[in-house]
Amino acid sequence: MTDETRGKGGEPRQQTTDRDRTMTTAQGGPISDDQNSLTAGPRGPVLMEDHVFREKMFHFDHERIPERVVHARGYGVHGHFELKEAIPELSAADIFQRVGEKTPTFTRFSTVAGNKGSFDLARDVRGFATKFYTKEGNWDLVGNNIPVFFIQDAMKFPDLVHSVKAAPDRGFPQAQSAHDNFWDFISLSPEAIHMTLWQMSDRAIPRSFRFMEGFGVHTFRLVNAEGKSHYVKFHWKPKQGLQSVVWNEALKINGADPDFHRRDMWDAIDAGDFPQWDLGIQVFDDEFADNFEFDILDATKLIPEEQVPVRIIGTLTLDANVDNFFAETEQVAFCTQNIVRGIDHTNDPLLQGRNFSYLDTQLKRLGGPNFTHIPINAPKCPFHNFQQDGHMAMHNPKGRVNYEPNSWGEDGNPRENPEIGFKSYPEEVSGTKQRVRSETFADHYSQARQFYISQTKIEQQHIAAGYTFELSKCQEEPIRLRVLSHLMNVHDDLAKQVAEGLGVTQMPEPATPAREPITDLPPSDALSILKNGPDSFAGRKLGLYLTDGAEAAVVEALEKAFADEGAMVAIVTPHIQGVTLSDGSTRAADEKIDGGPSVVFDAVALVFSDDASGKIAKNKPSQDFVSDAYAHNKFIAWTKAAEPLLKAAGADDMDGGMMEVSPDNATDFAKTCRKLRFWEREEKLNWE
């Protein structure tokens, strides 16, 4: 017997057959199709009888306890939603009827891939989930900061998450997609390419939860009191404007403050700087859906705002930090199936799978069916039913009646109400039971190209750099080449930049598209961060580095200018006890220089005395403070005594992002900082 016919330990190896290699359910039943859920027709709803999907998702939902499988690292904030425009013609939802009415909310932001102990600035999708405590029950809008997703069918969700999580044999990498498993899955799943364009863009490394958009991702329905339906996509538009960081900056923030996003939100709300988002809706009818270039049920696609404008109907304000992180942020349970009268689901197969998965997950994570008894999950409106018992039941039916229908007629005996009760939209559904992906889902590259050409040149360079960095962490060359073969179907320039960055000299053949890409879709400015930046420095933070003897008039002018701008100022000093200024006044330190690097600020100012100039210039943390700010394209203000430090840090090549500051021009510097970054510097530095 040869070595090839022996297994571990030298025992004879059994010959394998086709049956041995066949994928099966946990019950041993062979699986014919592991790619698609069972639907009623190609675009019909997912059927509850799909035992293969239910078993797969059931096991996936229960494989982690007690931490969430995904979105484990989150941060929650209380707030309210105020309706600005009533839409009774579109929806019977009570929350949309009365202008000026405020509805309590709880919003949880999160990363997706990392565990609870991972860092905030991972390159990752950000969850953006809001629970509305409406007068007719809880509505959960469970979305992300990116409007599309990796997959089209929830059948593939366990595979996607398994691929991006730490490898099961070695337990790493944590909160990172830069490894073979993830890109192997992506390279074999062309439907994910559009999403990876967003993931490799600056959208995946936001400066703050406060400075990112939110999207409901799926197409939902709005149904009015007469039963008329319109399709809708939900958008959150930050009033603070959009802002991200650069990759090198993200890496250093994770080292300096792994809780950077959490701290930023806490500090802003604690200071009374309450972040706000406008809720917008894209509403369209069957005629638009039938004529749109792509399938509105495909979660890997978006609808450009130029084709269907976003209509603003209300504003979300986050104005209260939690009292207890575990009781509120950790125990909050969001479910996409939590909708109210006037809002309904569609047949999007990813949404249908989420509706099953979320409830199933809460059962395991929160110990039983009574997680709605936990205060953060309980409705704030009256609620009555006959549900009873189970783990940690806090509310049971009173009296002898615990069933329905009944004839007792006791006070408090709940009855169904056809007039105000939830009714599903009576969509006609028919079709052959089958596992198949609709042909209308087959275009995987057109919108990826549209996203790329909608970006500024700087943003395009960042996308190419993101792919280059991530693929450089893949040890297997075939994986890198397969991804390149997909990028060749997106845009030649992107594919060439990534290939050059990887050192690929022989390009692979382009991947064969399932459907020929559309190459003349117009750019959409709404898809760019830099084209939608803020027009002020409000909500941002200036790092003001001071030494003893710094000119008081300059310090006071900067503090006033940035306060007038609505920004925060953090004092950084050589020693934690703070400094004494030229007029004898003092400033307490918020950060010591080696604990307050420039990466945690949006702009910096250096106000030194002549006596401290030489010593500070030789200080390595001070050099890093300046060199990082310069390399990350931040605006820098400085006084004459800081020139030796600028030179030592390699930042003495003065450009339009630098200003010698005085009491007379501090306001000018604050206004200059409204641009957030001096991107012209990046071309010169070629940092990426």
Look up residue 603 and give its amino acid. A
Q: State the Cα–Cα distance between residues 460 and 41, nearest whole angstrom.
A: 39
DSSP 214-268: EE--S-EEEE-TT--EEEEEEEEEETT---B--HHHHHHHHHH-TTHHHHHHHHH
Three-state secondary-structure class, residue 564: helix
Cα angle for residues 515, 202, 252 (degrees, 5° grid): 140
Taking Cα atoms as reference points, which of 513, 502, 501, 452 lies closest to residue 477? 502
Structure token pair of residue 311: 């209509």
Taking Cα atoms as reference points, which of 350, 408, 303 lies closest to residue 151? 350
Structure token pair of residue 203: 């959208």
User: Is 354 annotated for ligand binding?
Assistant: yes
Q: State the Cα–Cα distance between residues 92 and 290, nearest whole angstrom.
A: 25
Residue with tokens 């459907």: 515
Is 193 in contact with 486 (CB distance < 8 Å)? yes
- Indicate which residue of 71, 78, 230, 462 is catalytic: 71
The answer to whether 71 is a known catalytic residue is: yes
**Measuring CA to CA, how many Å separate 577 from each of 526, 599, 624?**
46, 22, 21
Is 234 in contact with 295 (CB distance < 8 Å)? no
How long is the chain? 688
- Indicate which residue of 36, 138, 144, 489 is catalytic: 144
Q: State the Cα–Cα distance between residues 249 and 120, nearest whole angstrom.
A: 13
Backbone angles phi, psi at 76, to 5 degrees: -110, 150
Strands 541-546, 568-573: pairing kind: parallel
The answer to whether 51 is a known catalytic residue is: no
**Measuring CA to CA, how many Å separate 4 from each of 13, 15, 315, 538, 545?**
9, 11, 67, 68, 68
Three-state secondary-structure class, residue 83: strand
Is it true that the peptide bond before 168 is cis, omega within 30 degrees of 0? no
Backbone angles phi, psi at 619, to 5 degrees: -85, 120
Residue with tokens 């275009």: 443
User: Is 13 annotated for ligand binding?
Assistant: no
User: Is 365 annotated for ligand binding?
Assistant: yes
**Measuring CA to CA, how many Å separate 387 from each of 247, 380, 594?**
50, 18, 57
Taking Cα atoms as reference points, which of 45, 81, 69 lies closest to residue 433? 45
Instruction: For CA atoms 627, 629, 634, 639, give the dihedral sign.
Output: negative
User: Is 108 annotated for ligand binding?
Assistant: yes
Instruction: For CA atoms 26, 32, 35, 38, give the dihedral sign.
Output: negative
Is 72 in contact with 110 (CB distance < 8 Å)? yes
Point out the residues that are catalytic. 71, 144
Binding residues for heme: 68, 108, 157, 354, 358, 365
Binding residues: 68, 108, 157, 354, 358, 365
